[in-house]
Structure 1
Amino acid sequence: MHSSDRARQNLPGASRTRFATRALFLQLGTVILVVALCTGVYLALAMQQLRKESETSALNIARTMAEDPTVRQLVTEFSADPGTPLAADLRDGELQYTARAIMARTGGLFVVVTDDHGIRLAHPNADRLGKEVSTPYAKVLEGHEVVDWEVGTLGESARAKVPIYALQPGEFVSSREQPVGEVSVGFERGSVFTDLPMLVGSITLAALGSLALATLAMLLMRRRLERATLGLQPEDLAALVQNQTAVLDGVGDGVLGIDPDGIVRVCNSAAERMLNLVDPVGQPITALGLSDALLASLALPSTSDEDRTRALNEGIVHGERILYLEQRPVERNGQQLGRVVIVRDRTDIVALSQRLETVSAMTGALRVQRHEFANRIHVATGLIDAKRVAEAREFLGELLQRGSVEYPVPGLDTLGDSFLQAFLGAKALEAGERGVRLRIAEDSHVHGTVCRPEDTAAVLGNLVDNAISAAVRGPAPRWVEVALFDDASELVLTVADSGDGVPAGRDPFAGHGDNQDLSSDASTTDEVHGFGIGLPLSREIARATGGELWLMDAGGTLGAGAGAGAVFAARLTDAVEPPRSGEGHSEERT
């Protein structure tokens, strides 16, 4: 069962109907309403158009007949007769014949002609001739044309009523002073909407076609939506967002989500802080200003256990941090979604490891010192037991003058702190085993007492170890020179060697290696320099309390003279406790 399925089951009150299905029904209902509304409006407009066309046809026929000279002449004569015409005379009259002929040609329901009193002079029903019409005619006799739908003796119809004007005697000129009758032409309601069924059928087919196309489009949209969301529903997406927020903000490690195109899609605040990123989401990983070492590590995802193990064991220097990266590919339903990068800040752990290594080295030096001191006490005890008191006194006097252990370090007596003497003495023994001579600069002077031995030993020990490694790879004679000065509470030190120096264009603090004299040979660099975190870490320790560590000279013309290797310097604040008044230099020595 996928996590999305479990999340969906755990959602309280979540609908069992899939969102895509609900969206399909909603869209389909909307389309149906829109199509029905459009169909209704179109039908209404079509019916209105049909009514308008029938009214226009009736009006044009009525106007044509009202302008006919014969009709006007006959109606003028009937209107001038004060009596009422007989139906028998009208049945076979010319007006009746003309009206029937027009009805036959136009398919009208009726063509009615009246005089100025509304008496029918022509009518489809001969029995109604000579009788007054059933619909109003006063407005027409006032000279107005009337177009309307009315219900008369022949039923409801679209009719047009046009006034008939008399002719001047002997001329075909109309007299527009007073109408002498009217012409009324009507079309039956059924004939008006004869084409309506065909029109409705066409509209229905168009509406059904529109619904079919809309349904197909929505089905395709639904499929696309499910594919884009990987089958997740809105409830699932909401649960994933909540879970993602809780996980990303609830861990101290940095988390980066990178899609197959190398675009950052997820980045929590811890990753932004560790990698010094600003709004990385949506940007390519190559555009975030990361170091070359980080980009090389992020170039390809780690798919094997060996790659993941190496990623966990190798540190990468980024700025002042020692970072460890772990990558894991992400896929769903066989589709590669990208990879997740876990970023862990191990600066404090590595710094503590460096301090522990320094303490271990000091412990070994003190063990050697204790062993040597025990041997000398045994010698003195033997001389006393042998009753050779004078020789024992002389031996103890020499010990008092030169100290408990004689380290092979020229200039060591210029340092008034026993910790520095023991530490550099132990480093001198290690350097001697590798064929390198360690010496103290003649102008060195430390009168105070070191009060931060762990940080001092970590910085000084790393610089000395790097210098020894560089000297071993350099020409003979091989040496390392250390200069130390105290200024109130600050401790200033420089370390020079006889190595080849730092190659031009190479930043020793960029994580290329621990050795201060970086070689251009990649294999040598990897063998000697380890993972490249010593110098950046030492600088981080120095800067932690306001100090600094820097490269004074890459080629070696300072301090020890021409031909020397690189010269590194460091300033440690609050590292020395100044001597109290009255305390001398010799009192600090051991």
Structure 2
Amino acid sequence: MKRSTSRLPLRFSTQTLLLQLGVVLLVVLLSGAMHAWLTYDRLGREAENQALTLARTVASDPSVRAEVQSISKEEGTPPPSALLKGPLMAVAEGARNRTGALFVVITDETGLRLAHPDADRLGEKVSTDPSDALSGKEVTTRNTGTLGPSAGAKVPVFAPGSSAIVGEVSVGYSTESISRSLARDIVPIAVTAAGALLAGILASFLLRRRLQRLTLGLEPEEISTLVHDQVAVLQGVDEGVVGISGDGRISVFNAAAQRLLDLDDLTGTPWARAPLPAQLKALTEPGAQERDAIELVAGARVVVASARKALHRTEDLGWVIMLRDRTELQHLTRQLDAVGTMSTALRAQRHEFANQLHTLAGFMSIGQFRQAQDYLAQLVATGPLKFPVDQAELLQDPYLQAFIGAKGVEANERGVALRIGPETLVRGQVTDPQDVTTVLGNLIDNGVNAAVSGASAERWVEVEALDAPGEDGGTLHIVVADSGDGLDPGHVDDVFSEGFTTAGTSTTPARAAGGQGLGLALARQLARRRGGDVTVLENGAPGGPGAVFMATLPGTTDTGITVSSGRDDDV
């Protein structure tokens, strides 16, 4: 059985190199051939001009003119033996020997040879047409005669003292001598061509090497596949991808990154001047190493960012930053916190219910039915649930009552009293509990942490809420104060920065992990997205009372009151 073998195709860089070498070789050969031809043509023209000059000299010799006229007057032509010993032969051969011409031929008016290097040709008709010279014209020629190929000239011979043409002089130089001259001149042509070929080969190798470096050794098919895969992956994933090239420019900024950062395409923008959060740029600062993912707030989103160095073999290609949306996870986390808080409160109430049932069972077991009836009436009058939050009845919305009550139970377990301020009045129903829970929960948690770490012996957090009607729904105003040590005046603006946390101490900033340091920043972003805000009303003081925060959340309640923007002209 024969085994079929297939040759591997040449790499694109090798094909390019061979093509370049072929083109260079072809150009050098064509240039050398053209140069050689031009040189040969130039040498031929020089030979023709030299022949024309010699022919004019011989034709103008008085003795030649007189002798040719004398022979032309005679009947017939002298025999070859007489011509061989005649003066015309001596002049022609003398001129030929002095100049190295192939031949110097003198004819009469009929074209018969009167002087010729070959004595056997004397008295014969010339092999080339003498009519142009015998008609009075000077011509240059390149032809092949009895002595071989030559470049020459033909000049008429005039009678002495007259314009009558009595003969012609033909002079020729062998083209073999031209070829020998060309052989001498071809050496610099060959050296030049060889130098050009060598330079072309060197340039082709350098270009091949640069091409391999620019394409990272990949073939065009591989590059095309990578481009298609890159487009499919970058546009198909939900994660944002930001690529920074080695020269410090943004090379990749996919649609997910534009959506997460709420920016237009920044491809081609210098990384240092890109309008991106400082925390993101810090990931790629000079000397920065790969680190754990960080969380930051971009617009109304919580984004997790991580940076990785991009390397190909030993070549540094830059950085790749991955962005993941944690906004929904943060919302779910807040909702779970709320559910966990409620479950903690219900667990505490379960113990209270168990104690109440044990009391009723005791009354019944000893036959104190009257006391059992009075106890049940008392329970019905006070209600089944009792949260450790003062003045909770000022919140008419059941959701706010339950949420703040659950937060009160959680705060009570940490030794902090959560209370409702006397200015609280919420008459409407909460229409966006998710945003309200996020903002209110972050402010309460921040206040509880500050109260726990504060120096005051009395630990408390006070919440005041007020809803006001509006055209697009009621606006909920929330004020949260605590008994902590307040905020350092130098860090008031920093409390709303991503990563800033007061956990552990109320006045010292820290860069925290695990999602800490995002609560106030996220609360402000959510409020501003709705057209509201979260601000610091008072910084507080060491030893208490602590800081006072205010949140404004438009369109989060339904008061049932319609506000008209027009004027009422009735009095």
How big is each residue's C-alpha offset from its partner over 1:311-331, in whole Å with a ceiling of 9 and x where there is no partner?
A: 2xx523333222223344444
CA shift, 1:333, in A, is 3.6
The one of 212, 224, 245 equivalent to 1:226 is: 212
- Cross-structure match for 2:3: none
CA shift, 1:52, in A, is 0.9
- Cross-structure match for 1:468: 448
CA shift, 1:58, in A, is 0.3
The one of 488, 492, 496 equivalent to 1:509 is: 496
Distance in 2, matches of 1:65 and 1:518, equals: 122
The answer to whether structure 1 residue 369 and structure 2 residue 337 are counterparts is: no
The answer to whether structure 1 residue 51 and structure 2 residue 44 are counterparts is: yes
Alignment of 1:15-26 (within 5 A): 16-26=9-19
- Cross-structure match for 2:569: none
Number of residue-to-residue matches in the alignment: 546
Contact 1:20 1:226 survives alignment (8 Å): yes
Q: 1:45 to 1:420 in 2, by over 3 A?
A: same
CA shift, 1:193, in A, is 1.9
Contact 1:96 1:122 survives alignment (8 Å): yes
The one of 345, 354, 360 equivalent to 2:325 is: 345
- Cross-structure match for 2:60: 67
CA shift, 1:163, in A, is 1.7
Contact 1:503 1:518 survives alignment (8 Å): no
SS at 1:193 equivalent: helix
SS at 2:54 equivalent: helix
CA shift, 1:397, in A, is 6.2
Amino acid in structure 2 at the alignment position of 1:511: E
Q: 1:543 to 1:522 in 2, by over 3 A?
A: closer
The answer to whether structure 1 residue 100 and structure 2 residue 93 are counterparts is: yes
The answer to whether structure 1 residue 164 and structure 2 residue 145 are counterparts is: no
Alignment of 1:389-468 (within 5 A): 402-432=382-412, 434=414, 436-450=416-430, 452-468=432-448
TM-score for both structures, normalised by structure 1: 0.80
Alignment of 1:108-127 (within 5 A): 108-127=101-120
Contact 1:164 1:183 survives alignment (8 Å): yes
Q: Name the stretch that deviates more: 474-483 or 131-140.
A: 474-483
CA shift, 1:352, in A, is 0.4
Amino acid in structure 2 at the alignment position of 1:534: G
The answer to whether structure 1 residue 493 and structure 2 residue 474 are counterparts is: no
The answer to whether structure 1 residue 566 and structure 2 residue 553 are counterparts is: no
TM-score for both structures, normalised by structure 2: 0.82
How big is each residue's C-alpha offset from its partner over 1:103-156, in whole Å with a ceiling of 9 and x where there is no partner?
A: 110111221223333343322233444444343223223221011123333333
Q: 1:550 to 1:160 in 2, by over 3 A?
A: same
Q: 1:276 to 1:72 in 2, by over 3 A?
A: farther
SS at 1:293 equivalent: helix
CA shift, 1:102, in A, is 0.3
Alignment RMSD: 3.7
Contact 2:295 2:498 survives alignment (8 Å): no
Contact 1:322 1:537 survives alignment (8 Å): yes
Contact 1:366 1:422 survives alignment (8 Å): no
Q: 1:301 to 1:264 in 2, by over 3 A?
A: farther
- Cross-structure match for 1:358: 338
Q: Name the stretch that deviates more: 34-43 or 415-424.
A: 415-424
Contact 1:165 1:181 survives alignment (8 Å): yes
- Cross-structure match for 1:482: 463
- Cross-structure match for 2:137: 144
Contact 2:476 2:557 survives alignment (8 Å): no
- Cross-structure match for 1:39: 32
Amino acid in structure 2 at the alignment position of 1:496: V
- Cross-structure match for 1:8: none
Identity %, equivalent residues: 40
Distance in 2, matches of 1:276 and 1:454, equals: 22
Contact 2:502 2:509 survives alignment (8 Å): no
Q: 1:513 to 1:543 in 2, by over 3 A?
A: same
Q: 1:493 to 1:515 in 2, by over 3 A?
A: farther
Amino acid in structure 2 at the alignment position of 1:90: L
CA shift, 1:89, in A, is 4.1
The answer to whether structure 1 residue 197 and structure 2 residue 203 are counterparts is: no
Identify unmatched segments of 5+ residues in structure 1.
1-12, 169-174, 580-590
Contact 1:380 1:392 survives alignment (8 Å): yes
Identify unmatched segments of 5+ residues in structure 2.
1-5, 562-571
